Amino acid sequence: MGVRKNQATLTAQEKRAFVNAVLALKANGGYDPFVTTHNQFILSDVDNGERTGHRSPSFLPWHRKYLLQFEQALQAIDPSVNLPYWDWTADRSTGSTVWGADFMGGNGRATDGQVTTGPFAFSTGNWRLNVNTDSRTYLRRQLAVGVAQLPTRPDAESVLAITTYDAAPWNSTSSGFRNNLEGWRGVNLHNRVHVWVGGQMATGMSPNDPVFWLHHCFVDKLWSEWQKRNPGQTYLPTAGTPDVVDLNEPMKPWNTVSPADLLDHSALYTYDTGF
């Protein structure tokens, strides 16, 4: 069982190991299918039809499984690697350590958004985007352009205080913890971070930017924290709900795992601290 740590506390060796495993997965062809899968679900998840990965109660367990699958792919390369998380309520500036040249690399340049520093810069020859909507094959970012500020600690606490997991109509208009965390309602947590980073992170192909995994790892950590604070609450809906995944219903694309199977992650990984 691994421990997922705050990226701000990683040692230089831990950063290198994570980056090297991501680059190796990219080189062996194992990375791009994750980008394709995410984009397929972004395109197919709609408020008034079938929805699994987004705009729906299964947003959180779907991404928990997705992150686990990615983490296991990295561990097949280097067993010492665990997903780190980016606490964007604390590391809120364009100069935060997450954007260091030894880790995720920095902002995109003003002319075209191209990331030119760090291990995922196009000039390294190691990070060519193969799943994209146009001919640009370089990683792009526009930090703090699409939206000026990342969510704050009070923003996150206000969402953690919502005690009901989800509610009808089970989409982007719903009340409840899930939709407020996803960001379609309220202070906007998850969605706002994608827009703040910009570039590929503002598209359905957001996993093209490796910071995607650190962002979603923190989203998963917030869900884990909510679960600890609300032991009497659980995933909703439980049964018989059209177009969304019920508690014991299998989730696509795996079709072998349900939200119920993913509620307790303690046998698979833990987090270094609480929120």
Categorize the per-residue pLDDT at 274 as very low, low, confident or very high, splitting at 50, 70 and 90: confident
State yes or no: pLDDT of 1 exceeds 80.
no
Report the 10 Å Cβ neighbour count for 161. Answer: 12
> Residue 133: what pLDDT?
83
pTM over 0.95: yes
Per-residue pLDDT of 42-64, as tens digits, reads 999 999 999 999 999 999 999 99
State yes or no: pLDDT of 227 exceeds 90.
yes
> Residue 229: what pLDDT?
97
Distance CA 117, CA 216 (A): 23
State yes or no: pLDDT of 272 exceeds 90.
yes
Q: What is the mean pLDDT of residues 231-252?
A: 97
Q: What is the mean pLDDT of residues 27-39?
A: 98
Per-residue pLDDT of 171-193, as tens digits, reads 999 999 999 999 999 999 999 99
Categorize the per-residue pLDDT at 40 as very low, low, confident or very high, splitting at 50, 70 and 90: very high
Per-residue pLDDT of 115-170, as tens digits, reads 999 999 999 999 999 999 889 999 999 999 999 999 999 999 999 999 999 999 99
Q: What is the mean pLDDT of the chain?
A: 97
> Residue 143: what pLDDT?
98
Amino acid occupying residue 240: G
Q: Minimal CA–CA distance to 191: which of 175, 173, 203?
A: 203
State yes or no: pLDDT of 199 exceeds 90.
yes
